[in-house]
Amino acid sequence: MNFFERQDQARRASRRLVFLFVLAVIAVVAAVDAVVFFVLSQAQAHSSGFVQPLPQWMSDNTATVIGTSLVVIGIIALASLYKTVSLNGGGGVVARSLGGVRVSADTTDPAERRLLNVVEEMAIASGVPMPEVYLLEEEKGINAFAAGHSPADAAIGVTRGAIDTLNRSELQGVIAHEFSHILNGDMRLNIRLMGLLFGLLVIALIARIVLRAAPHRRSRKDSGGAIALVALAVFVIGYVGLFFGRLIQAAVSRRRESLADASAVQFTRDPTGLRNALVKIGALSAGSSIRNPEVDEVAHMLFAPGVKRLFATHPPLLQRLRDIDPHFDPAEFERVGRQLRERGTAGDAESLRAGAAARGLHEGAAALGTIAHLVGNPGTQHVRHARSIRESLPEPIVLAARHPVTARGLLMCLALDPDPALRERQRAAIAREFDAASIEQMASLQPVVDVLGPEQRMPALMSAFPALRQLAREDRLALLSSLNSLPRDDSHVSLQSYVLRKLAQVHLHDALDASAPSARLTLRAVQLEAHVLLTILARQGHDTETDARRAYEAGMHFLYPHERPAFRDVQPWAEALDRALARLDRLVPAAKEQLIEAIERTIAHDRKLTLAEAELVRAVCATLHCPLPPLIG
Rounded distance between C-alpha atoms, residue 478 and residue 476, angstroms:
5
Q: Is the confidence at residue 179, as pLDDT, over 70?
A: yes
pLDDT digits (tens, 9 = 90+) for 275-329: 999 999 999 888 899 998 888 888 888 999 988 877 788 889 999 999 888 888 8
Q: Which residue has the higher pLDDT, 311 or 532?
A: 532
The CA distances from residue 406 to 397, 464, 472, in Å, are 9, 9, 14
Q: Is the confidence at residue 404, as pLDDT, over 70?
A: yes
- Please name every residue paired with 144 in a beta bridge, in sequence order, or none if there are none: 158
Q: Is the confidence at residue 106, as pLDDT, over 50?
A: yes
Residue 50 confidence (pLDDT):
67
In degrees, to the nearest 5, what angle opens at C-alpha 266 toward C-alphas 100 and 348? 65
Rounded distance between C-alpha atoms, residue 479 and residue 475, angstroms:
6
pLDDT grade, residue 122 (50/70/90)? Answer: very high
Residue 226 confidence (pLDDT):
56
Helices and strands, number each (H, E), in the chain:
28, 4
Rounded distance between C-alpha atoms, residue 313 and residue 247, angstroms:
9
- For every residue of 578-620, DSSP letters joined together read HHHHHHHTTB-HHHHHHHHHHHHHHHTTTS---HHHHHHHHHH
Contact criterion met (CB below 8 Å) for 256 and 186: yes
Residue 235 confidence (pLDDT):
63
Highest mean pLDDT among 203-217, 396-410, 605-619: 396-410
pLDDT grade, residue 51 (50/70/90)? Answer: low
Residue 554 confidence (pLDDT):
92
pLDDT grade, residue 188 (50/70/90)? Answer: confident
b/e per residue 98-121 (b: at least 16 CB within 10 A)? bbbebbebeeeeebbebbbbbbbb
Task: Please tell me which residue in 139, 178, 593, 600 is annotated as part of the active site.
Answer: 178
pLDDT digits (tens, 9 = 90+) for 203-242: 777 766 766 666 554 444 455 455 556 556 666 666 777 7
What is the model's pTM? Answer: 0.82
Contact criterion met (CB below 8 Å) for 502 and 477: no
Residue 352 confidence (pLDDT):
42
Average pLDDT over residues 160-168: 93
Share of the chain above pLDDT 90, in %: 40
Average pLDDT over residues 581-608: 91
Provide the mean pLDDT of the chain. 84
Residue 266 confidence (pLDDT):
75
Q: Is the confidence at residue 110, as pLDDT, over 90?
A: yes
Return the closest-CA partner of residue 25 out of 82, 91, 93, 74: 74
Average pLDDT over residues 500-504: 91
Q: Is the confidence at residue 633, as pLDDT, over 80?
A: no
Q: Is the confidence at residue 359, as pLDDT, over 60?
A: no
Residue 227 confidence (pLDDT):
56
* Residue 137 a catalytic site member: no
Q: Is the confidence at residue 522, as pLDDT, over 80?
A: yes
Q: Is the confidence at residue 349, as pLDDT, over 70?
A: no
- For every residue of 96-144, DSSP letters joined together read HHTT-EEPPTT---HHHHHHHHHHHHHHHHHTSPPPEEEEETT--S--E
Residue 609 confidence (pLDDT):
82
